[in-house]
Amino acid sequence: MIYADTLEPLVRIETLSANRQELIDNLGRFEQDDRRGIGEFRAGKLSIDNLPARRQTIFDPQEQIAERANFVGANVAELCSAAGKLFELLADAPTS
């Protein structure tokens, strides 16, 4: 039981961290798209109504990055709790 309690949050931490890093790596592309949209608006090729949608393509990944960081922190706390239980069991184990 303790092994599963430590393994599950550890796997989630690794998965969430990898996903978060992927989002961070792609932010530059979203920022370029936003700058391109502003340039197209200034050139008269894009309506002002389209700019908020372009800006949203930056905000959504930023929000997801923050959310992933929060989930990683929660899983670290869960992992620490499970590890603490393991150490408590080891401390209470009879010695030979």
What is the separation of C-alpha 43 from the centre of its chain, rounded to a whole number of angstroms?
36
**Predicted confidence band at 90 (pLDDT cuts at 50, 70, 90)?**
low
Q: What is the mean pLDDT of the chain?
A: 87
Per residue in 25-72, pLDDT (tens digit) is 999 998 898 899 899 999 999 888 888 888 888 899 999 999 999 999
The whole-model pTM stands at: 0.72
Per residue in 61-82, pLDDT (tens digit) is 999 999 999 999 999 988 888 8
**Predicted confidence band at 84 (pLDDT cuts at 50, 70, 90)?**
confident
